[in-house]
Copies of this chain bind each other. A is one copy, B any other.
């Protein structure tokens, strides 16, 4: 039997999805599983998107343009303009989800053994895409104790080597909910100029900023237009995860040309997804306002509840719909598996994402989990109760307090 590739062996498992078989078994045993492990919103997809698909009269589901339907790109560029991002329809490629945009960006910027610096904890799949490209993620650690603020520029400088080609950030951040400030962006700007680096900026949660905070896009940065690559997606913005429609946006012509060659090799993004995504651009401003209010309510409810559980601590996220929480457990991988395999209360349990998979340094995050607040407040209340009960009965509970700061 031929052996698989080294890459295939070292490819990390998704911390979000690796426990899926345990969840399936739990459901098979009749348990109701509250899914806080995955960023699958329960918000309804806009009716205008669903209708567009129903009313699409396509006798043949044809290939579209490899860069995405021109009419969708034109309309999307207007959305960006309204957000202060000045890009033309030919400065973007429509991709199969934000995932493919990250893969194209890495493939276009990184050669095997090249390095990309990513503040950790980070969206775990970046590591998988870096592995696909044969490149290395060089983490710099943001800590829960400081609320996951961006590590100082000195920390970046320390890990920069001749192989460093890019810095990757996610803003607002998945998994921490951290929202980068304009000041932090100015520091990153100086850094990428000084070391001639790409800045790959995942902004799929741009519409999810709370407490009146304004989203600062990497595309606002002046003088580094050729360095910046923005990753986008409709998955969260319009509750359209299953459409698989994202975008790679950049003014760098060489990156675009390279990404287009990759896009051509996989032919095109999904047709129905583009139709729905294009229609979604017609949702009124009130859609986002209501959605933000809802998430804000959930966030406040969740964070208050979490920090009230003895030994649990989570800093207040300012964007996206995740938070990282520190739990009084020996190993969150074991705890999350135990929740599905060995715990239940009233025929219910919950699924969380162990945070270890969001750190490149696997010794970190062992007592942290990522929680997605994608359920309504009533369900969150049950989930919080389940978590509190589970922590009381989990055999691997640790004695130390997990709460360095009173919430």
Please report A residues at the B interface, Cβ cutoff 8 Å: 1-9, 11-14, 16-18, 20, 38, 40-45, 49-50, 53-54, 58-66, 96-97, 99-100, 103, 107-112, 114, 125, 128-129, 132-134, 165-166, 196-198, 226-227, 239-244, 252, 254-255, 258-259, 261-262, 264-273, 276
Contact = CB atoms under 8 A, between A and B. Distances in A.
The prevalent SS among residues of A at the interface is: loop
A198 B2 contact: yes
A45 B60 contact: yes
A133 B6 CA distance: 12
B107 A7 contact: yes
Contact of A258 (B8, B45, B49, B264): B8
Nearest to A39: B63
Contacts of A9: 258
Which of A6, A198, A239, A242 has the largest count of B CB atoms less than 10 A from its CB? A242
A6 B270 contact: no
B258 A108 contact: no
Contacts of A261: 8, 11-14, 128
Count of identical protomers in the assembly: 2
A63 B2 contact: no
Nearest to A9: B258
A108 B4 contact: yes
Contact of A266 (B99, B109, B258): B99
Given A13-B264, A16-B264, 10 more contacts: A4-B109, A8-B107, A17-B66, A40-B63, A44-B59, A45-B58, A50-B61, A64-B242, A125-B264, A242-B272
Contacts of A114: 5
Given A5-B114, A58-B45, A258-B9, A265 B38 contact: no
